[in-house]
Copies of this chain bind each other. A is one copy, B any other.
Amino acid sequence: MEKHPDDRLNSDADPFKGDPNFMASLARGLDVIQAFTPQRRMMSISQISQKTGIPRAAVRRCLYTLGKLGFVYAQDGKNFELRPRILALGHAYLASTPLARAAQPVLKHLSEMLNESCSIATLDGDDILYIARASSSRIMTIDLDIGSRLPAWATSMGRVLLSHLPEENLNDLLGRVTMIRYTSQTVDSVSALREELKKVQQQGYALNDQELEMGLRSIAVPLSNTRGQVLAALNVGVHAGQVSADELLSRVLPELQKAAQELSLLLD
């Protein structure tokens, strides 16, 4: 097979440039997959190139390869979309990870009992990443799906997870964090966030009262394995107009803690 010029990394910003073991074409293929979003579910080569910063010729080869493997398709030959086979990639993780497998029935039970939406997330870089979720039957549910992410510092699950980070890692993260004032309630300084994280660690839960979005409250607790290592966080999200912060503490928190304890026994 001929070497294509696109196999070379040509972005100066690329941190892996010049690393001979790094497979640029694999990284680019994965970037192309992740370029698709609900707002952009069909994209042309030039749109993907623009979004990812990958040259058009390289995007074309990625799509050609992903197409041959059944991961993307363009009905009109021009506008590409993801095909369901993409789910096989996430399935490899869901099926092989005890936490994700064990979580689903526990979450479902908790969600039905409380009639609220429950989620589990882990830390992935500076974000939280949703790995399991059970939504309530109410029509207005909070729409966050498995595999989606949010900045850790701004969320109840993220703060639980940050509060258990080794100090050095936490300092690194707080050093590079960009704090956005999502609402008038959002914690707005690193020092206030540090105080909040200390409180979260002491009390064993994080309460987010409309800091990410007005009308949205959530409460989260850590999920540990049998050796006490915090692997993930479990939360319940509610509509602020329906459930007060006091009710979250008195009614929801005890159930959340019970579910976390139950799940912990399944994780080693």
Contact = CB atoms under 8 A, between A and B. Distances in A.
Interface stretch (A86-94, A217-225, A259-267): A86-94
A86 to B, nearest CB: 4
Contacts of A26: 25-26, 28-29, 62, 65-66
Copies of the chain in the assembly: 2
Interface stretch (A141-149, A151-159, A168-176, A208-216): A141-149
B70 A96 contact: no
Contacts of A148: 88, 91, 95
A165 interface: no
A268 B41 CA distance: 14
B124 A137 contact: no
Given A1-B8, A38-B96, A87-B94, 16 more contacts: A1-B19, A25-B25, A30-B89, A34-B88, A36-B93, A37-B95, A41-B96, A70-B125, A85-B124, A85-B129, A87-B129, A88-B147, A89-B90, A90-B91, A94-B147, A109-B137
